[in-house]
A and B are shown apart, each in its own frame.
Chain A
Amino acid sequence: MKMCRSSDKKLEKFLLSKEVETSFNRVQAQSIKCGFGQQGVCCRLCSNGPCRITPKSPRGVCGATADTIVARNFLRAVASGAACYLHVVETTARNLKAVGEKKGKIKGINTLNELAELFSIQEDDIHKKAIRVADKVLNDLYKARHEKMELVEKMAYKPRYKKWEELNILPGGAKSEVFDAIVKTSTNLNSDPVDMLLHSLNLGICTGVYGLTLTNLLNDVMLGEPVIRTASVGFKVVDEDYINIMITGHQHSVISHLQDRLIDEDIKRLAGSVGAKGFKLVGCTCVGQDLQLRGQHYQEVFSGHVGNNFTSEGLIATGAIDYIVSEFNCTLPGIEPIADKYMVGMICLDDVAKKANAEYVNFNMNEEEEISEYIINKALESYKNRRCKVKIDIPKDHGHDDVITGVSEKSLKKFLGNTWKPLIDLIAEGKIKGVAGIVGCSNLTAMGHDVFTVELTKELIKRDIIVLSAGCSSGGLENVGLMSPKAASLAGDNLKSVCESLGIPPVLNFGPCLAIGRLEIVATELAEALGIDIPELPLVLSAPQWLEEQALADGAFGLALGLPLHLAIPPFITGSKLVTEVLTNTLTNMTGGQLILEDDVKKAADKLEQIVIERRKSLGLVVEDEGEIA
């Protein structure tokens, strides 16, 4: 079967050796794209359609122009993406509330206290405090659209908040904002591209403040705060001596009971009764990345992170996975036939991610004990049933043992001595030219699996720009060794010496895509420490291999924060000159943000570096001769 490239050559070799069809094969068969779709000018909103914009038909039947069609499609996509993250924060807040109500374990007491203080909650009982914090979040999410959400002001950096207020993009109740975005983009309703783009920014704020930042923090309360440590990644972490449960999704708190229960003595004995050493959770997709981030607290149950979304199919094909628990995306439909072939049972704990051949059990914290028992028994049964029938083939040479993980806004600051000053000094001296967040997903179309991400990252660190990563991009970067300290050798001389003296890699691993929110806290705190606004920082974002609608909602937050955001593949907007112009240009005068579309690695790195240099200049920082590093 024809297969696309991966930056991860060992993964490529492994997939080639397996007789299973994966996304890597299908992307070839899907290589011919619809140009109208790519340019965002196909409209399917009514039965007069589908309408497509061509030179011969410059308007839809209803009269919608390319600008209107593109803006509608874009806002719909951002709304869907925002909805996904809002679902995640809603589940997380409800789980926190349930933990409070049942007086369950609070592992991140510091974070809880900080949030309570920020939200002006006076409460001594930690469980009641947890309930009240969760309620604050839920109350905001459920507000009507005309009621502004309260926590935005408390969470956001002041100058940003003022900017958003000025632009009239402060969100009302987040779910209502999504709701009306859907209304707005329906048949013969809003046709104003600018209004729809502003609504997208509004949804970006909902996504960023709630879906990303608050989800992280609420999870930290329930599951523990990230601690910097060294971990193993890749297929090598899979140990066939255990009953292996692969997890896919984004809602870490859904497996919070399960992950603790799996290492209880009685369960270990149960595993022993069928000849296994115990149970392990095998990390895959963002929830695996989340477990890795908090891995300090889960060293026994968590075998390690294997890889990102598009590694999941390969992981099942090792034969070493006995059971799959999913609670959100990225649970690819493509894993279904492979799970069938390798006799792997699947269970889904949230119907938003219900897979056709998975069993569905609605997760509910009040029944978490029973659900965990059920999963354990199913996994056990699956193990018993399949192990004698399937061949196990784990590429043990795949991965690294020295990946630095557990980086968060807090752990990083702590690492620096509880102050950002050392980092600021390094930047000021030019030892670190700037900061780039390489975030978002992995796709197979921007040069291949993680190819653009890896190449761009290498290009940036070569230019002394330190890279922070969150999302499936980090899954790819760690598997090719860029998050190991030895990767310092790939950095430019200045960055290399910084990394070597601190013992860190030039690419820092913040974990799941949710942690894009953590990167943005870092940006905010750096700006705060310097007394400037975010768009003045020598900091750029790139989601080179963005995949899905969620990434667009993340991106909308980045743009609302005033960050330059690079994408290798245009988000289906180029069919509208107006939308393209607003996002790539006009926006700099509004939020300070800017979309950069560039499908060439070198040129993308040039553009990002150029912005970093310009920002340094305006801050009066040392600027080396341009073009010295090539």
Chain B
Amino acid sequence: MLKRIKVDRDLCMACLNCVLACMDEHNKKGKSVYDLDLEDVSNGSRNHIELDKNKCPTPIICRHCEEPECVYTCMSGAMTKDKKSGLVLYDEEKCSSCFMCIMACPYGVLKADEVEKRVVLKCDMCGDREIPRCVESCTTGCLSIEEDE
């Protein structure tokens, strides 16, 4: 059973709350918005918003694909598909920073961390959190969580 973040693009208003929420949740200094240093480039978001040709904002959020190109292309074993949870997991200790996954993700979800360029910024569905922080922070209903059988 896979939890997947549902995206209703028409509802996205590019508020970047999901981006901030992601940075909040993965901030080593603490999880409150007031712990977040918005000028600190070392804390990157694992999701992002892109604008299409009509300037329509679109959240780009890891899908934890059934057939994940990032996993197929990973030569270090850092990127794996967990059969049980259905999640595509990333082990930054194992990663050899070859960035083949960045090249492979067809949806342009992945990038390297901004400062060290050592690890890949990859959605972990907020670990044990029941509802990912980005979904919780979405004000418009654009992001929601649904369980896939």
Q: Is the CB of B39 within 8 A of A39?
A: no
For chain A, residues 33 to 92, give those with C-beta under 8 angstroms from any C-beta of chain B. Answer: 33-36, 38-39, 41, 52-56, 58, 66
A533→B16 CA distance, assembly (Å): 47
CB-CB under 8 A from B37, the residues of chain A are 577
Q: Is the CB of B33 within 8 A of A33?
A: yes
CB-CB under 8 A from A574, the residues of chain B are 34
A570 contacts the other chain (CB 8 A)? yes
**Among B57-65, B77-85, B96-104, B134-142, which stretch is in contact with chain A?**
B134-142
CB-CB under 8 A from A575, the residues of chain B are 38
A629 contacts the other chain (CB 8 A)? no
* Proximity bits, A6-43, B CB within 8 Å = 1, else 0: 00000000000000000000000000111110110100
Q: How many A-B residue pairs have CB under 8 A?
A: 55
For chain A, residues 527 to 585, give those with C-beta under 8 angstroms from any C-beta of chain B. Answer: 570, 574-575, 577
CB-CB under 8 A from B42, the residues of chain A are 55
A56→B15 CA distance, assembly (Å): 15
How close is A254's CB to chain B, nearest CB, in angstroms? 39
CB-CB under 8 A from A599, the residues of chain B are 34
Minimal Cβ-Cβ distance residue in B for A30: B139
- Set B16, B24, B139: member contacting A52, Cβ < 8 A: B16
B88 contacts the other chain (CB 8 A)? no
B12 contacts the other chain (CB 8 A)? no
Beyond A33-B33, A36-B16, is A66–B38 a contact (Cβ under 8 Å)?
Answer: yes
Q: Is the CB of B38 within 8 A of A54?
A: yes
How close is A44's CB to chain B, nearest CB, in angstroms? 13
Question: How many residues of chain B are within 8 Å of chain A by beta carbon?
Answer: 24
Q: Is the CB of A53 within 8 A of B39?
A: yes
Most buried by B among A34, A66, A597: A34
Q: Is the CB of A32 within 8 A of B17?
A: yes
Main secondary structure of the interface of A (DSSP, over half): loop
For chain B, residues 20 to 42, give those with C-beta under 8 angstroms from any C-beta of chain A. Answer: 20-21, 23-24, 33-34, 36-42
A599→B35 CA distance, assembly (Å): 12
* Proximity bits, A607-628, B CB within 8 Å = 1, else 0: 0000000000000000000000
How close is B134's CB to chain A, nearest CB, in angstroms? 11
Interface residues on A, range: 20 to 34
* Proximity bits, B34-70, A CB within 8 Å = 1, else 0: 1011111111100000000000000000000000000
Minimal Cβ-Cβ distance residue in A for B21: A35
Minimal Cβ-Cβ distance residue in A for B19: A54
A58→B16 CA distance, assembly (Å): 15
A38→B39 CA distance, assembly (Å): 15
Q: Is the CB of B39 within 8 A of A55?
A: yes
B146 contacts the other chain (CB 8 A)? no
CB-CB under 8 A from A32, the residues of chain B are 17, 136-139
Q: Is the CB of B24 within 8 A of A35?
A: yes
Q: Is the CB of B137 within 8 A of A54?
A: no
B10 contacts the other chain (CB 8 A)? no
B114 contacts the other chain (CB 8 A)? yes
CB-CB under 8 A from B20, the residues of chain A are 35-36
Q: Is the CB of B33 within 8 A of A35?
A: yes
Minimal Cβ-Cβ distance residue in A for B114: A55
Q: Is the CB of B19 within 8 A of A38?
A: no
Beyond A55-B41, A56-B41, is A570–B34 a contact (Cβ under 8 Å)?
Answer: yes
For chain B, residues 108 to 146, give those with C-beta under 8 angstroms from any C-beta of chain A. Answer: 114, 136-139
How close is A562's CB to chain B, nearest CB, in angstroms? 26
Beyond A32-B139, A35-B17, is A53–B38 a contact (Cβ under 8 Å)?
Answer: yes
Some 16 contacts from A to B, beta carbons below 8 A apart, are: A32-B17, A34-B15, A35-B16, A35-B21, A35-B36, A35-B137, A36-B20, A39-B33, A39-B38, A53-B39, A55-B40, A55-B42, A55-B43, A574-B34, A575-B38, A597-B34
B residues contacting A by CB (< 8 A) are 15-17, 19-21, 23-24, 33-34, 36-44, 114, 136-139
Beyond A34-B139, A574-B34, A577-B37, 20 additional contacts (C-beta under 8 Å) are A32-B136, A32-B139, A33-B33, A35-B17, A35-B21, A35-B36, A38-B33, A38-B34, A39-B34, A39-B36, A41-B38, A52-B16, A53-B38, A54-B19, A55-B114, A56-B41, A58-B41, A66-B38, A66-B39, A575-B38
